[in-house]
Structure 1
Amino acid sequence: MIPRLRPATGLFDVIAAFVGRYHVVEFERSFAKLMGQAHAIAFPYGRTAQMMLIEALGFKDRDILLPAYSCVVVAHAIVLSGNRPVFIDSEPGGFNMDLDKAEAAITERTAAIIATSIHGYPVDLDRLERLSAAHSEVVILQDCAHSFSAEWQGSPVQRAGRAAIFGLNISKLMTSIFGGMITTDDTELAEKLRAVRARQIKGAGGRRIGRALYLGAATVALVPSIFSFVRYISRFGLLDRFVRYYDETLIDIPADYLDQIGRAEASVGVRQCAAYPGIVEHRRHIAGIYNTMLESRYPEGRPPMVEGATWSHYVLRVPDPEKLVREAAARGIEIGRIIDYCVPDMPAYREIAASQGPFDETRRLNASVVNLPLWVSERTARRVAATLGAIL
């Protein structure tokens, strides 16, 4: 079985997790250099980083705009920071937030907009700049969990705002096993972030071996020859604690969200910073293969080929995602459902979002989007595209 996701890690990354000697500050320097920014500040999770950033900016009991089509943990971090999420529908025909609707939603309570480049598609920085010029009191924050160094017409997305937020778990474009990062060119904000971190974040403790074993297990488990067994035992709920990251009824955060990353994560992170240009180039190449091979078989459901996209996911829109998932699995290919929920429709957010919306575009995406494996070799990609083309 070909898994839809696999970290870009190998034996030497696992060895680095066990014995590497890099400190977190060295990982921060490498990450800042990779993103072309003055500062990078590391945290235990991306959602922890987001909460600390909101605190450093001094926001309390304010409105923060974010996409309705986004990972639910972004909204959780807003609520747990003492603020209110205001959900914005997706742009017609695309995946990112509708910036016209975002501008219409700005009030005197609005503190910030979290602009997310979903699936690695760069947010429209020209439109965002016009919005920011008209509402200079509203802080622009970039959610780059899917878009490490994505570019809008040659301009890096992460630099187009006060700060950018990154998650670094093993499902991301690059990983440090666990962890999150804030990048910024604002030295004053960076100093405030480090002060907030010093007050609240605890040391890494003695978790190195556990983190290294986790990376080793994940790297091996997602090898195709082994993944079939992993997929089988997951049916019995034996892996839920490792793969389930939200409950629709709760606004919560991991118990260790204040436990800082250590040398295991930093050592893997430094290696991944060096490898990242090759990682994203490979994903762009595989996305191009899918796009070309599916052009005649399924032209209308393909994603747009956007210059500067990082391709965290290659997604198709299909009328019956669950059927495609089943039929692909029967042929040895795991096809994923990605963001198959509308956050403001979740029980935990219905009251908060009761007067917001509508979210018609987001719901259409929730009901139709699947993602294909991008980590695979060119030969495997051609097999995946041929198989899916035949099914579709």
Structure 2
Amino acid sequence: MIPRLRPAIGLADIGAAFRARSSVADFERAFAATMEQAHAIAFPYGRTAQMLLMEALDLKGREVILPAYTCVVVAHAIVLAGARPVFVDSEAGGFNMDLDKAEAAITAETGAIIATSIHGYPVDLDRLDALCARHPQVTVIQDCAHSFAAEWKGRPLQKHGRAAIFGLNISKLMTSIFGGMITTDDADLAARLRQVRDVRLEAGGRGLSRALYLAAATTALAPPVFTLVKRISDLGLIDRFVRYYDETLIDMPGDHLVQIGRAEASVGVRQCMAYRGIIDRRRRIAAVYDEALAEVLPDARPPLVEGATYSHYVLRVADPDRMVKAAARHGIELGRLIDYCVPDMPAYKTLTAGQGPFDRTRQLNDRVLNLPVWVDETQARRVVEVIKDIA
């Protein structure tokens, strides 16, 4: 069975995790060079990176604007940093935040805006520039967890704003097994972030367990093995390993303040070297899907955007659950991604009273379906044939 997600990891990467020869500082230098920025600061998770960035920016007690259509951990990091989330609906026809609504949400209490490029589709930097010119007191933070150096008209997203956040778990475009990263060209902010990190984080030291986890996860997500894994998953026997949120809680993983170590850093260094090939492959597969589905699902396809990095290739369909079940019978796993509206969750109801409406976000929650983008062209065409049969 073809899984919807699989890290771009080979035997050499797994070997690097076991040998663990690179330091966290080595990984930071490699990541900064890959993203063409002056500084990169590593953390245990992307959400930890975001939380401590907000502490470094002294955003406690301030409002932070973010999309309603986003991963819930982004909102968790805001709350746990002592700030207040202000959610904004999605743009018409796209996936990112409506920047007109974002500007309307700015008040005297607004400290920052998180510009997220969902599914790897770049946020409109021209419009964001205009917003910033009118509101220079608002700090822009780029959420690049899905976008990894995506570009808007040739301008790298991560270089626009005060800092950029990256998540590096095995579901991301590139991975260091676990981990997160902040990049910035602001030397003072980088120094402050390192100070905060040195005070807040414990040293790592779980190299062997992390290397074993990478080997096991990579094996489990190989198509021949994944058939069995999927059956076990459908029985609910591994939910506690894969479920990353509880709608009633605002929390973090128990080890969110335990720093990554040499195993993660060694994989991360290798992934930086492979980065360009990873992105080029995903763009090729997105183009295959776009062309092959043009006739059968013309209105369901996402736009092909120059500069997008396609963390996910997503369709918008009327009944995604039906397609997921039908594709599974043909040996293809399709995914439901961000099928929740964060401000609707019980944990956020009180915090978001009076915010909204979030009609476009809820439409995306109900309709978005993601296809495997890690595959080769032969596998992609097999996915297309299955979707055509279902449609």
Scaled to the shorter chain, the TM-score interval is over 0.9
> Which residue of 2 is the match for residue 356 of structure 1?
355
Residue 239 of structure 2 is matched in structure 1 by 240
Per the TM alignment, residue 226 of structure 1 is displaced from its structure 2 partner at its CA by: 0.5
Structure 2 CA distance for aligned equivalents of residues 77 and 334 of structure 1 = 30
Q: Distance in 1 between matches of 2:216 and 2:237?
A: 15
Q: Contact 2:20 / 2:207 at 8 angstroms: preserved in 1?
A: no
Runs of 4+ in 1 over 3 A off after TM superposition: none
Q: Which residue of 1 aligns with 2:368?
A: 369
Equivalent position of 1:265 in the other structure: 264
Residues 1:42 and 2:42 are matched in the alignment:
yes
Query: Is it true that 1:19 corresponds to 2:8 in the alignment?
Result: no
Q: Secondary structure at the match of 1:26?
A: helix
**Alignment match, 2:338:** 339
Q: What amino acid is the match of 1:7?
A: P
Give the corresponding residue for 2:8: 8
Alignment TM-score, normalising by the size of structure 2 = 0.99
For residue 32 of structure 1, what is the amino acid of its counterpart?
Answer: A
Match of 1:318 in 2: 317
Shift of 1:376: 0.7
Specify the alignment match of 1:299 in structure 2. Answer: 298
Whole-angstrom CA distance in 1 between matches of 2:353 and 2:340: 16
Partner of 1:52: 52
For 1:337, what is the secondary structure of its paired residue? coil
1:177 and 2:177 matched:
yes
Cα separation, 2, equivalents of 1:135 and 1:364: 30
Q: In angstroms, what is the RMSD of aligned CA positions?
A: 0.6
Deviation at 1:240, TM superposition (A): 1.7
Gaps in structure 1 of 5+ consecutive residues = none
Q: Distance in 1 between matches of 2:278 and 2:240?
A: 28
**Whole-angstrom distance in 2 between the partners of 1:311 and 1:104:** 29
Aligned-partner SS, 2:347: coil
| Aligned equivalents of 2:228, 2:383: Cα separation in 1 | 20
Query: Which residue pairs with 1:282 in the alignment?
Result: 281
Query: Match for residue 101 of structure 2?
Result: 101
TM-score (norm 1): 0.99
Mapped to 1, the partners of 2:82 and 2:102 lie a distance apart of 21
Q: How many residues are matched?
A: 391
- Structure 2 spans left out of the alignment, 5+ residues: none
| Residue equivalent to 1:203 | 203
Distance in 1, matches of 2:109 and 2:375, equals 46
Q: Does 1:149 align with 2:149?
A: yes
* Aligned amino acid, residue 181 of structure 1: M
Return the offset for 1:59.
1.2
Quote how far apart the aligned CAs of 1:264 are: 0.3
For 2:130, the aligned partner's letter is R
Shift of 1:233: 1.0
Same amino acid, percent of matched pairs = 68
Whether 1:86 and 2:121 are equivalent positions in the alignment is no
* 1:100-128 deviation digits (Å, cap 9, x = unpaired): 00000000000000000000000000000
CA distance in 2, matches of 1:241, 1:215: 18
Deviation for aligned residue 1:42: 0.2
Residue type of the alignment partner of 2:366: A
- 1:370 Cα shift? 0.3
Which amino acid letter does the alignment assign opposite residue 172 of structure 1? K
